[in-house]
């Protein structure tokens, strides 16, 4: 990130299903300053209702107002994009010069994408070259043009044109890599409102990212089914549960807590185990190290503990601001695992 006496804040915007998260970072000779804010987009009473772009735009405005930042006074904006048609994949091309990669990629990606490349927006990052294998290793990111246009529509309503649009798994990788904890292996599970992202980054091994349909709404539906109540009533119960201490001494014998624990084991832990088993067929990955947990649902008390029990590993909730070091004078902004993606996006400033 550029640093200087007059440097302006760079904003990372995570536009989720439940809320918008914002992280702004400003560097200078006096140290680093950062802001964070979150604003709900819409209530969870109707899980199948599509969120209007106007509602997202209002949430973005609320976040900026909360941290007292003017969009015109920003150095830039990064935003993330996720979905079933957002693909991040490590691929190999024949050895080519940098200027030839873009043209070669248009032909090569047909082997790797389930969609017509002509309908996709492509980006890539060079990971390395092997003269022995005569190959160029790339990290490919692709998204459908239609999905990208819909995702950016709320920001365009506000006259904001993002400088960087990053795939969610890559933004999350930036966030977890910044913690600097442990060895060179990073395993992160980000649990949002409707979907989760599992990513594995290990030096000199293939990058792995997978999205699956598990989120806070999955837990709400599990409670609704277990208690035979409506989704809206189950959501209210879940929020009430979230305000309780669910540490090692918490009581998990009620119908609500049992439904939640069963869903974590059945709908999430088993997906993680299958994903890691698949990754082991492609890379040297003998043991699952500590797993970091992020996303809005990671705030729910007891989830890290119960998930760790189901997986047989240590699961720790990620503090995305943990590696920031000292900050300039002023109160510290709100912190929490829900800011992981926005933090990784803010770090993308160059």
Q: What is the pLDDT of residues 144-162, one digit of tens each?
A: 899 999 999 999 999 999 9
235 within a domain of the structure (yes/no) = yes
Q: Is the pLDDT of residue 340 over 90?
A: yes
Of 66-80, 206-220, 238-252, 327-341, the least confident: 238-252
The sign of the torsion formed by the CA atoms of 287, 292, 295, 297 equals: positive
188 within a domain of the structure (yes/no) = no
pLDDT at 127: 76
The pLDDT > 70 percentage for the chain reads 86
pLDDT at 49: 67
1 within a domain of the structure (yes/no) = no
User: In this predicted model, which residue has the larger pLDDT, 124 or 40?
Assistant: 40
103 lies in the same domain as 20: no
Banded pLDDT at 180 (limits 50, 70, 90): low
Domain boundary among 123, 143, 163: 143
Of 63-67, 128-132, 216-220, 245-249, the least confident: 245-249
Q: Is the pLDDT of residue 22 over 90?
A: yes
pLDDT at 286: 77
Q: How far apart are CA 12 and CA 26, in angstroms?
A: 12
The CATH number linked to 112 is 3.30.1490.300
Banded pLDDT at 248 (limits 50, 70, 90): very low
Tokens of 75: 């150095």
277 lies in the same domain as 337: no
137 lies in the same domain as 214: no
213 lies in the same domain as 235: yes
287 lies in the same domain as 327: no
Of 5-9, 209-213, 300-304, the least confident: 5-9
The pLDDT > 90 percentage for the chain reads 43
Averaged pLDDT for residues 280-291: 83
pLDDT at 15: 94
Q: What is the pLDDT of residues 36-57, one digit of tens each?
A: 999 998 655 555 667 889 999 9
Q: Which of 55-64, 178-187, 200-209, 253-262 has the highest mean pLDDT?
A: 55-64
Q: Is the pLDDT of residue 221 over 90?
A: yes
The CATH number linked to 42 is 3.30.420.40
336 within a domain of the structure (yes/no) = yes
- Which own/partner contact pairs does 230-235 have at CB distance under 8 Å and 24+ positions apart? 231/44, 231/45, 231/46, 231/47, 232/44, 232/45, 232/46, 235/44, 235/45
44 lies in the same domain as 159: yes
308 lies in the same domain as 330: no
Domain count within the chain: 3
107 lies in the same domain as 121: yes
**What is the domain range of residue 44?**
10-83+146-181+319-346
5 within a domain of the structure (yes/no) = no
Q: How far apart are CA 204 and CA 182, in angstroms?
A: 16
DSSP 247: S
pLDDT at 142: 85
4 within a domain of the structure (yes/no) = no
76 lies in the same domain as 173: yes
152 within a domain of the structure (yes/no) = yes
Q: What is the pLDDT of residues 323-339, one digit of tens each?
A: 554 444 344 667 889 99
Q: Is the pLDDT of residue 6 over 70?
A: no
Residue pair 219/262 in contact (Cβ under 8 Å)? The answer is no
187 within a domain of the structure (yes/no) = no
The β-bridge relationship of strands 135-144 and 120-130 is antiparallel
pLDDT at 218: 94
258 lies in the same domain as 309: yes
* Residue closest to 32 by CA, chosen among 336, 296, 349, 293: 349
15 lies in the same domain as 154: yes
43 lies in the same domain as 101: no
User: In this predicted model, which residue has the larger pLDDT, 302 or 76?
Assistant: 76
User: In this predicted model, which residue has the larger pLDDT, 138 or 308?
Assistant: 308
Q: How far apart are CA 134 and CA 138, in angstroms?
A: 13
């Amino acid at each position: 990130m550029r640093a200087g006496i007059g440097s302006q804040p760079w904003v990372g915007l995570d536009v989720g299903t439940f809320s918008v998260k914002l992280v702004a970072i400003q560097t200078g000779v006096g140290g680093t300053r950062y802001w964070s804010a979150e604003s709900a987009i819409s209530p969870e009473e109707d899980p199948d209702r599509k969120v209007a772009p106007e509602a997202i735009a209002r949430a973005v405005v609320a976040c900026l107002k909360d941290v007292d930042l003017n969009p015109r006074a920003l150095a830039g904006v990064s935003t993330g994009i996720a979905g079933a048609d957002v693909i991040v994949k490590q691929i190999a091309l024949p050895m080519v010069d940098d200027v030839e990669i873009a043209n070669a990629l248009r032909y090569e990606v047909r082997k790797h994408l389930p969609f017509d490349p002509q309908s996709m927006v492509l980006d890539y990052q060079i990971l390395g070259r092997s003269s022995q294998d005569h190959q160029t290793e790339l990290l490919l990111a692709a998204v459908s043009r239609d999905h990208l246009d819909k995702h950016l529509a709320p920001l365009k309503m506000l006259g904001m044109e993002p400088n960087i649009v990053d795939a969610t798994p890559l933004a999350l990788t930036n966030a977890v890599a910044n913690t600097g904890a442990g060895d060179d292996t990073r395993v992160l599970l980000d649990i949002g409102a409707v979907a989760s992202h599992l990513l594995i980054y290990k030096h000199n091994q293939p990058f792995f990212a997978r999205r699956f349909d598990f989120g806070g709404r999955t837990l709400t539906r599990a409670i609704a089914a277990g208690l035979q109540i409506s989704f809206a009533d189950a959501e209210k119960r879940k929020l009430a549960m979230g305000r309780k201490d669910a540490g090692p001494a918490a009581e998990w014998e009620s119908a609500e807590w049992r439904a939640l624990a069963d869903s974590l084991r059945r709908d999430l832990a088993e997906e993680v185990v299958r994903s890691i088993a698949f990754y082991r067929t492609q890379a040297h990955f003998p043991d699952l190290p500590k797993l970091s947990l992020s996303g809005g649902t990671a705030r729910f008390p007891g989830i890290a503990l119960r998930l760790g029990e189901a997986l047989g590993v240590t699961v720790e909730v990620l503090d995305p601001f943990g590696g920031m070091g000292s900050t300039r004078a002023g109160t510290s902004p709100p912190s929490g695992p829900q800011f992981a993606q926005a933090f990784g996006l803010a770090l993308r400033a160059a």
